[in-house]
């Protein structure tokens, strides 16, 4: 069931109150979380102007933590900070998604190869657990979150913390685009099949196959994003 944006913001204000926000840092974290969810669900659609004073009032926050939350979402690529218009929900663009996925393909392929080489029984069990949880995702939002957890559980086996940190940053920037895929039953089903293949390759410590599968997986997601954006 879909609710009007005003009602969603009312619900967010209640959640913020229940979180017992006590300082500016926690208020910024909470505001960023709520706005991120509204953007990724498209209840705040691409191109929407975010009136800071109005949002602050609706969320029951002061403008300072809200402004800091918008700056954080800008760093994630979900919001554009226009000096004339103010904060605007980002529109997906071909140029940006191409650049993000070009970097992801290079870095995640390298992480996958290292993960296969360093895989352990304990590590493989964590990947399997993440995969099983991923299969149980009941909606698009949960699917996006468990998708990140699954990929991260693989790349953590590489024991390359700086590489993992950069991949995480790129995945945050890609959230707007992965969400396009998550809104499609067909897209999720295709990705789930490929996740299973990745897990099987990792279990066999087949670095060549795992690297190839990760490259293909990301390229197909990119192709999907092109189809949706170009409409």
Q: Which domains, ranges and CATH numbers included, belong to the chain?
A: 5-89 (1.10.10.10), 94-230 (1.20.120.530)
Per-residue burial over 115-145, b if 16 or more Cβ lie within 10 Å, else e, is bbeebeeebbebbeebbeebeebeebeebbe
Predicted TM-score (pTM) of this structure: 0.79
Give one word for 227, left, alpha or beta, with left for phi > 0 and alpha for psi -120 to 50.
alpha
Hey, is 172 helix, strand or coil? helix
The tens digit of pLDDT for each residue in 154-207 reads 999 999 999 999 999 999 888 888 887 888 888 889 999 999 999 999 999 999
- Predicted confidence at residue 36, as pLDDT, reads 87
The tens digit of pLDDT for each residue in 54-103 reads 888 888 888 888 899 999 999 888 899 988 888 999 988 999 999 999 99
Residue 211's pLDDT band, with cuts at 50, 70 and 90, is very high
Hey, is 74 helix, strand or coil? helix
Q: What percent of the chain has pLDDT over 70?
A: 89
Answer with the residue of higher pLDDT: 139 or 203: 203
């Amino acid at each position: 069931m879909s609710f009007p944006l005003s009602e969603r913001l009312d619900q967010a204000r209640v959640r913020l109150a229940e979180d017992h926000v006590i300082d500016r840092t926690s208020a910024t974290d909470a505001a960023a979380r709520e706005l991120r969810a509204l953007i990724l669900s498209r209840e705040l659609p691409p191109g929407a102007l975010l009136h800071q004073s109005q949002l602050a009032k609706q969320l029951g926050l002061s403008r300072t933590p809200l402004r800091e939350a918008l700056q954080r979402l800008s760093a994630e690529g979900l919001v554009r900070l226009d000096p004339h218009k103010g904060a605007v929900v980002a529109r997906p663009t071909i140029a940006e998604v191409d650049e993000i996925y070009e970097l992801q393909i290079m870095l995640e392929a390298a992480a996958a190869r290292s993960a296969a080489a360093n895989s352990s029984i304990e590590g493989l069990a964590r990947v399997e657990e993440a995969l099983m949880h991923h299969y149980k995702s009941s909606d698009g939002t949960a699917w996006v979150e468990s998708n990140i957890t699954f990929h991260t559980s693989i790349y953590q086996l590489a024991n390359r913390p700086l590489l993992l940190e950069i991949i995480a940053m790129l995945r945050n920037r890609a959230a707007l685009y992965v969400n396009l895929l998550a809104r499609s039953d067909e897209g999720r089903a295709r990705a789930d099949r490929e996740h299973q293949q990745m897990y099987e390759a990792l279990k066999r410590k087949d670095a060549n196959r795992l690297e190839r599968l990760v490259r293909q997986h990301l390229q197909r997601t990119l192709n999907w994003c092109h189809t949706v954006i170009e409409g």
